[in-house]
């Protein structure tokens, strides 16, 4: 990035900022919701209550000595942050560690009966089984009449806008779902994406939320496989529950089972996905780095090799975008190509805007957005983009 000034990494300390609000309000609200999700015993409830106090008023505390991933968190910088206020370590670090500590509190890593029980599963399932999801699946029947090109474009946009389905975001912004999406994209490299997909063999999709985002992501992959636009898809999910609704392998199975059970075209998509999982043309990976508190510029060699082997890698969602470009307050006109120059191969971002980080806007677009909304467009979840580098 020869000419790009690099701003500092974002912290959550600025009073009145969205970031501080996430730490001070969203995190305790998530704990309250988790506390109600299952009949947790007194020990779990006490651990959750302690975390609720600690994460808003205290400092980062260590993981247990016997934690299976202690060395990993140390390699990610844990020792340097212990004893520091949650507001004064990098925001991404603070958020990621919050989810790790939440899982510790509910006994997710065991031993014990709560081992492996996803504290967010009731919320994820409620969404997957909702009338909205049913209506979205029924709408697939109309798509069947259209040309493959039109279907592809509709499914790409379904996957993009599916990113509005983010249960963590809705928890701290109750009006988010009702606010109308603005259909014109703030950056639209979709032609470049289709050009890259034309000669593609392997597509990596780095998933974001389960349910109403993962379902359209899977539909998009199924379409590309069916049309022989790609030979193989690699879906990266989280290794454990994270940011409330982020997709895990269990969520992939729930989504595919829901599709298989659906009538009409949705059911056909489901069977296509089932077959692809069985024959290895759809592979799911849950790399530990997918839930790391670090940007993708710091990814380990094996993950880099995985992305390097893909014709195109698509990053879904707001958090993945922050990690892809670096969690910094870039000037919005900073070229997306500059901040992703480190990435091996063609990379695309499909994201609705739900936090301050943004790159790759034209000066005209930035000026128009700011004139109409101040800085609210950055975090409102009504705007979206498709950005591509490396075609
Ligand atoms: O990655 P997603 O699901 O699109 O959005 C994640 C999010 O809701 O959580 C973060 C704040 O906690 C922000 O990056 C964004 O607001």
Q: Which atom of ligand 1 is nearest to the CA of 163?
A: 4
| Residue 60: φ, ψ to 5° | -65, 130
Distances from the Cα of 172 to the Cα of 32, 166, 223, 390, angstroms: 12, 11, 34, 36
Tokens of 72: 């990993």
**How many other C-beta atoms are found inside a 10 Å radius of the C-beta of residue 254?**
21
Q: 209 in ligand 1 pocket by Cβ < 6 Å? A: yes
Residue nearest to atom 7 of ligand 1 (CA): 169
Do the bridges between strand 384-389 and strand 346-352 make them parallel or antiparallel, or are there none, so unpaired?
antiparallel
Q: Report the residue among 91, 160, 168 best suited for mutation to probe ligand 1: largest number of ligand atoms under 8 A from its CB.
A: 168
Residue nearest to atom 15 of ligand 1 (CA): 354
Residue nearest to atom 5 of ligand 1 (CA): 318
Q: Report the residue among 28, 159, 355, 356 best suited for mutation to probe ligand 1: largest number of ligand atoms under 8 A from its CB.
A: 355
Q: 210 in ligand 1 pocket by Cβ < 6 Å? A: no
Residue 354 alpha carbon to ligand 1 centre in Å: 6
Q: 307 in ligand 1 pocket by Cβ < 6 Å? A: no
The pLDDT tens digits along the chain (391 residues) read 556 789 999 999 999 999 999 999 999 999 999 999 999 999 999 999 999 999 999 999 999 999 999 999 999 999 999 999 999 999 999 999 999 999 999 999 999 999 999 999 999 999 999 999 999 999 999 998 899 999 999 999 999 999 998 778 776 676 777 777 888 999 999 999 999 999 899 999 999 999 999 999 999 999 999 999 999 999 999 999 999 999 999 999 999 999 999 999 999 999 999 999 999 999 999 999 999 999 999 999 999 999 999 999 999 999 999 999 999 999 999 999 999 999 999 999 999 999 999 999 999 999 999 999 999 999 999 999 999 998 8
In angstroms, rounded to a whole number, what is the distance separating the alpha carbons of residues 382 and 280? 36
Residue 18 alpha carbon to ligand 1 centre in Å: 11
- ipTM of the modeled complex: 0.98
Q: 389 in ligand 1 pocket by Cβ < 6 Å? A: no
- Domain annotation for the chain: domains and CATH numbers: 18-118 (1.20.930), 122-389 (3.40.50.10880)
């Amino acid at each position: 990035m020869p000419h790009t000034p690099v701003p500092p990494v974002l912290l959550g300390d600025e009073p009145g900022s969205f970031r501080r609000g996430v730490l001070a309000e969203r995190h305790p609200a998530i704990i309250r919701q988790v506390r109600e999700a299952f009949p947790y015993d007194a020990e779990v409830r006490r651990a959750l209550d302690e975390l609720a106090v600690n994460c808003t008023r205290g400092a980062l505390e260590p993981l247990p000595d016997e934690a299976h991933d202690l060395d990993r968190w140390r390699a990610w910088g844990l020792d340097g942050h212990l004893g520091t206020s949650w507001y004064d370590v990098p925001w991404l670090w603070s958020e990621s560690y919050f989810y790790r500590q939440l899982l510790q509190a509910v006994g997710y890593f065991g031993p014990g009966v709560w081992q492996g029980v996803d504290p967010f599963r009731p919320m994820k399932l409620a969404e997957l089984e909702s009338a909205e999801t049913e209506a979205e699946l029924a709408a697939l029947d109309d798509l069947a009449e259209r040309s493959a090109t039109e279907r592809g474009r509709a499914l790409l946009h379904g996957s993009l806008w599916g990113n509005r389905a983010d249960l963590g975001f809705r928890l701290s912004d109750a009006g988010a779902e009702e606010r109308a999406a603005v259909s014109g994209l703030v950056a639209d490299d979709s032609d470049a994406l289709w050009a890259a997909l034309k000669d593609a063999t392997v597509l990596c999709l780095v998933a974001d939320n389960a349910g109403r985002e993962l379902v359209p992501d899977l539909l998009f992959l199924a379409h590309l496989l069916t049309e022989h636009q790609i030979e193989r898809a690699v879906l990266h999910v989280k290794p454990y529950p994270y940011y409330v609704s982020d997709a895990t392998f269990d969520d992939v199975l729930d989504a595919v089972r829901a599709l298989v059970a659906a009538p009409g075209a949705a059911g056909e998509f489901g069977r296509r996905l089932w077959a692809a999982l069985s024959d290895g043309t759809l592979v799911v990976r849950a790399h530990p780095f997918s839930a790391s508190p670090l940007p993708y510029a710091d990814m380990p060699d094996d993950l880099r090799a995985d992305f390097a082997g893909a014709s195109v890698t698509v990053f879904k969602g707001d958090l993945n975008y922050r990690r892809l470009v670096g969690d910094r307050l870039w000037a919005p006109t900073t070229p997306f190509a500059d901040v992703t120059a480190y990435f091996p191969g063609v990379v695309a971002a499909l994201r609705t805007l739900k936090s301050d980080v943004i790159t790759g806007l034209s000066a005209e677009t930035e000026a128009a957005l700011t004139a109409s909304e101040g800085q609210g467009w950055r975090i409102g979840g009504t705007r979206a983009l498709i950005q591509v580098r490396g075609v």
